[in-house]
Amino acid sequence: MAVIHHTTLKPTKLELLASWLPSRPWYRGTGEPELVNAGGFRLDDPQGEVGIEFMVVTDTSGTHPSAYLVPLAYRGAPLDGAEDALVGTMEHGVLGRRWVYDGCHDPVLVDQLVALVEGRAEAQDQNTSDVPDREVTRSRVGDGPALAAATTSATDHRTGTELRAQDGTALLLHRALSPAVGETPVRPPEATGHVAGSWRLPDGTRARGLFAVLRPGPGSD
């Protein structure tokens, strides 16, 4: 299990994201965001090399606050070929210099997200070591690999990020989050898998919604 270090970060994650988010096509704001940490969860890298965090941040700068899902991969050295996915670097009080990437472009994070959808990985608490996050739920219909993560490309759209395999299977991450109607997020009927979770609203209540949806490729049963 990954060890959560409660230490200093310079700059902080929110400071890094405040300058990076407006460059994303799914960002709904019109200027510099004012961000608060609204929740999220972690996944473990089996090799113990990459930190994997799915942050939910809320931008309160506009009239209507917007919540965003931001998968982040933390590395101790630059990831070759991922310069365009670099969010920034920070100094970690225990681990030293860390390179922070948009996790949708990091193969280790994508592998573990697919493992979560398939039920081979378990979501972990965002702030406490070795504690599962029971608010994160997932489903999968069918057998075999959900997504060939090693051959997956990531593309940002206005509504989210699509992780698409060569066979056409796609995992769509909802980057701009919407609370579900009712207490339980409903998987779309055409989907073959999903990940859902919760986050804090500005008024202190909690919302739940879909984080990711798996869709079959053309010709899939």
pLDDT tens digits along 39-83: 999 999 999 999 999 999 999 998 889 999 999 999 999 999 999
Q: Give the number of other Cβ atoms within 10 Å of residue 217's Cβ.
A: 13
Confidence of residue 182 (pLDDT cuts 50, 70, 90): confident
Confidence of residue 149 (pLDDT cuts 50, 70, 90): low
Instruction: Write the pLDDT tens digit of every residue in 154-163.
Output: 999 998 999 9
Confidence of residue 8 (pLDDT cuts 50, 70, 90): confident
* Separation CA 43–CA 128 (nearest Å): 12
* Separation CA 40–CA 38 (nearest Å): 7
Q: Give the number of other Cβ atoms within 10 Å of residue 77's Cβ.
A: 9
3-state secondary structure of 177: coil
What mean pLDDT is predicted for residues 199-207?
94
* Separation CA 107–CA 125 (nearest Å): 22
Helix (H) or strand (E) holding 213, with range, is: strand 206-215
Strands 160-164 and 137-140: unpaired
* Separation CA 120–CA 101 (nearest Å): 24
* Separation CA 77–CA 3 (nearest Å): 19
Strands 170-174 and 137-140: unpaired
